[in-house]
Amino acid sequence: MTSARGIRTYSAALWIVGAIVIGAIATTTVYSILSGPPRWLTDFPWDKDSPTVAAQTGSTWSAPGNAMIILPKELTTGSAIEVRRTSGQGELLFLGQSPSAEAAREELPQSLGILDAVNTDTATFASPGTVLWVRTDGPWTLIIEPLEAETVDGAVSGRGTRYLRYDGPSSTAEFRHEGDGTITVEVLTAAEREAPITSLGVVDQQLTWTSSPEAVFHIIAEPGAVWSLSVDGAAP
């Protein structure tokens, strides 16, 4: 189980790594002492009194750079949503989440990871008031919609990348991967966000999560990667 303190520590680490990565890419000249720190090291949208609010058109949000996304009521029901990047893949995009805009002033947003030309989407759970934060150096467009995922009620197998949803009473599952290519497995609930598996080889591992009305498994794998997932105690 991931504690709130653990989530804060994990998020802080990812935001710091994000700043370092952006700086390494963006910094091509030597800054003098008088010029002050570069923008990527100090420009956090949640620290602004009036952060830029991303423009919404239907299920699409966009902005010229760092911004706050205000989610509508239909996306903050507590069920999983998908965030998918459709433009701006040339720049790394760091995505975060806060229970509200005000909460971000007291506590660092939870990091949802990095979206780029390869990893273009992620999922999360949003409750009323939830806002998303975008940190990037260029214009971007995101599509945010309720997550469409296959429901698991026992065992399932497949190849490549896929979202799976489980809404039963179990809190453990067995995951296997035959070792053909890189694979990452994220386990998401409204209370926690884990990536217990990142592997280049064979995987035979138990997944665990806090009992929740809904759990999402995000399997990120090469097209030829063969895997299987079996929820413990579920119907065969």
Query: Which pLDDT tens digit goes with each residue over 161-188?
Result: 999 999 999 999 999 998 778 899 999 9
Average pLDDT over the chain reads: 84
If one counts every other C-beta atom within 10 angstroms of the C-beta of residue 61, the result is 23
Rounded Cα gap, residues 96 and 115, in angstroms: 11
The pLDDT of residue 7 is above 60: no
pLDDT digits (tens, 9 = 90+) for 100-155: 999 988 899 999 999 988 889 999 999 999 999 999 988 999 999 999 999 999 99
Q: Put residue 5 in one of left, alpha, beta given phi > 0 → left and psi -120 to 50 → alpha.
A: alpha
In the chain, DSSP finds a helix count (H) and a strand count (E) of 2, 18
Percentage of the chain modeled with pLDDT above 90: 65
- Do 4-146 and 150-231 have matching folds? yes
Q: Locate tokens 């800054």: which residue?
A: 31
Rounded Cα gap, residues 186 and 122, in angstroms: 10
Rounded Cα gap, residues 65 and 41, in angstroms: 15
Strand segments (E) across 88-139: 93-98, 110-115, 121-125, 131-135
Lowest mean pLDDT among 22-26, 53-57, 167-171, 175-179: 22-26
If one counts every other C-beta atom within 10 angstroms of the C-beta of residue 24, the result is 9
Determine which helix (DSSP H) or strand (DSSP E) holds 81, and give its type and residue range. strand 80-87
Question: What is residue 43's predicted lDDT score, i.e. its pLDDT?
Answer: 76
pTM: 0.81
CATH class of 4-146: mainly beta
Q: What is the DSSP letter of 51?
A: P
CATH class of 150-231: mainly beta
Q: What is the DSSP letter of 53?
A: B
Give the start-to-end residue ranges of the domains of the chain: 4-146, 150-231
Distances 227 to 179, 203, 217 between C-alpha atoms, Å? 9, 9, 13
* Spatial contact of 225 and 183, defined as CB atoms under 8 Å apart: yes
Q: What are phi and psi of 146, to 5 degrees?
A: -55, 140
The pLDDT of residue 22 is above 80: no
If one counts every other C-beta atom within 10 angstroms of the C-beta of residue 142, the result is 25
Q: Which of these, 110, 115, 135, 140, lies nearest to 125 by C-alpha position?
A: 110
161 or 16, which is more confident: 161
Rounded Cα gap, residues 68 and 130, in angstroms: 11
